[in-house]
């Protein structure tokens, strides 16, 4: 155990980890690695081959200006973070002195199972394993790790440096001390730690968000009201800064389509109709959401951001 003073939090916390390995350096893995290094930890980034490592370095280079503009970080701070990072495609080397491995590899059960079996063999006994999986449960992989008591989920949101939630979720066999340590670690890397007391598919966020977004889309499908009216209702009545269709534009309409299409194929007639609506009215017209400049709203200045929107 060592004492760790987190400069940005200006308070003393006891953190049991010093060396962190992030496995998988794609969209989320590169963000988790950089954020962790930015907060003062030593970080080893592991990915499958040299090409993936090169892509990881490019991703990290692109994060630096975001930290400067979004967080006001200095040139010195963003460079110090990269200096605390190293990269390798050799798993044994990557975890040789790891206190914690955060896994952010593809959301495919077999890929994760194979990874944990291998990781369990090469990681030192002290190493804690945490998965960033969005939809899979830790109990699906706990046996494969060979150390179920030291395994749990640590789930981040995209654009981790500003959307700083960290949902922490064990499985029935997770050691409570390991769980508590991970809560402290999450805080130390600038996250708001959100502990879950039970395993729950979708954690807290998606357990709330997915049914909410589906309810809004059902209103649209039934032609009860248009997206602007639905969003306006939600925003005025609850004080929320965005309504469900504005959120869908951020998530991406393709993701909403994939979910509806999957449920439609499984026999849900309403979902099949919704998938068809999203495809014909939006996707086929190139309206995929914020990323293409248009979805339910037009960007960069969507109407819901206009103060007039909530007045009439």
Binding site for ligand NAD (CB under 6 A): 23-29, 47-48, 52, 104-107, 111, 115, 132-134, 155-156, 158
> Residue 23's beta-bridge partner residues?
46, 103
Which of 22, 230 has the CB closer to ligand NAD?
A: 22
Sign of the CA dihedral running 155, 81, 92, 126? negative
Q: d(Cα 37, Cα 147) in Å, to the nearest integer?
A: 26
Query: Between residues 23 and 189, which has the closer beta carbon with respect to ligand NAD?
Result: 23
Q: How far is it, in rounded angstroms, from Cα 194 to Cα 309?
A: 33
Task: Give me the residues paired with residue 168 across strands.
Answer: 154, 195
- Tell me how far, at minimum, the Cβ of 106 lies from ligand NAD, in Å: 5
* Nearby residues of 212 by Cβ (< 8 Å), 6 or more positions away: 244
Smallest separation, CB 28 to ligand NAD (Å): 4
Query: Closer CB to ligand NAD, residue 104 or residue 278?
Result: 104
In 123-265, where do the E strands start and end? Answer: 128-131, 151-156, 165-169, 192-196
Q: Which is nearer to ligand NAD, 16 or 134 (CB)?
A: 134
The answer to whether residues 166 and 214 touch, using CB atoms and an 8 Å cutoff, is no
Nearer to ligand NAD, 103 or 230 (CB): 103
Residue number with the shortest CB distance to ligand NAD?
A: 26
Rounded to the nearest whole angstrom, what is the least distance from the CB of residue 132 to ligand NAD in the complex? Answer: 4
Burial 270-283 (b: 16+ CB within 10 A, else e): ebbebbeebbeebb
Minimal distance in Å, beta carbon 307 to ligand NAD? Answer: 31
Return the number of the residue (160 or 216) whose C-beta is nearest ligand NAD. Answer: 160
CB of 270 to ligand NAD, least distance (A): 26
Give the burial class of 49: count Cβ atoms within 10 A of its Cβ; 0-12 exposed, 13-18 middle, 19 or more buried: exposed
What the block records as the tokens of 152 is 């749990």
Residue 131 CB, nearest distance to ligand NAD (Å)? 7
State the nearest-atom distance from the C-beta of 274 to ligand NAD, in Å: 22
Closer CB to ligand NAD, 26 or 195, in the complex = 26
Residues near 100 by beta carbon (within 8 Å), at least 6 away in sequence: 17, 19, 20, 21, 127, 128, 129, 130, 182, 185
Minimal distance, residue 59 CB to ligand NAD, in Å: 9
At residue 122, φ and ψ (nearest 5 deg) are -100, -20
- The answer to whether 199 touches 167, Cβ cutoff 8 Å, is no
Of 166 and 216, which CB lies nearer to ligand NAD in the complex structure? Answer: 166
């Amino acid at each position: 155990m060592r004492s760790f003073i987190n400069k940005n939090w200006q308070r003393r916390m006891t953190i049991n980890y010093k060396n962190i390995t992030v496995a998988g350096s794609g969209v989320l893995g590169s963000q988790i690695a950089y954020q962790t290094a930015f907060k003062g930890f030593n970080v080893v980034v592991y990915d499958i081959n040299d090409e993936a490592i090169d892509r990881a370095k490019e991703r990290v280079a692109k994060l630096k200006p975001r930290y400067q503009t979004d967080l006001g970080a200095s040139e010195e701070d963003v460079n110090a973070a990269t200096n605390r990072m190293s990269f390798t495609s050799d798993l044994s080397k990557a975890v040789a002195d790891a206190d914690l491995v955060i896994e952010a590899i593809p959301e495919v059960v077999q890929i994760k199972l194979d990874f944990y079996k291998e990781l369990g063999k090469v990681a030192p006994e002290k190493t804690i394993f945490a998965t960033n999986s969005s939809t899979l449960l830790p109990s699906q992989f706990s046996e494969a790790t060979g150390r179920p008591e030291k395994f749990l989920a640590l789930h981040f949101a995209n654009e981790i440096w500003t959307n700083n939630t960290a949902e922490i979720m064990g499985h029935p066999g997770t050691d409570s001390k390991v769980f508590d340590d991970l809560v402290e670690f999450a805080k130390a890397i600038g996250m708001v730690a959100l502990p879950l007391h039970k395993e729950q598919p979708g954690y807290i966020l998606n357990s709330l968000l997915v049914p909410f977004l589906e309810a809004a889309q059902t209103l649209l499908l039934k032609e009860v009201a248009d997206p602007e009216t639905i969003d306006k209702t939600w925003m005025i009545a609850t004080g929320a800064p965005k309504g469900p269709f504005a959120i869908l534009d951020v998530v991406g309409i393709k993701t909403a389509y994939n979910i509806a299409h999957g449920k439609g194929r499984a026999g849900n007639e309403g979902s099949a109709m919704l998938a068809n609506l999203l495809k014909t009215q939006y996707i086929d017209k190139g309206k995929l959401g914020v990323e293409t400049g248009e979805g339910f709203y037009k960007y960069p200045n969507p109407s819901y951001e206009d103060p007039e929107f909530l007045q009439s």
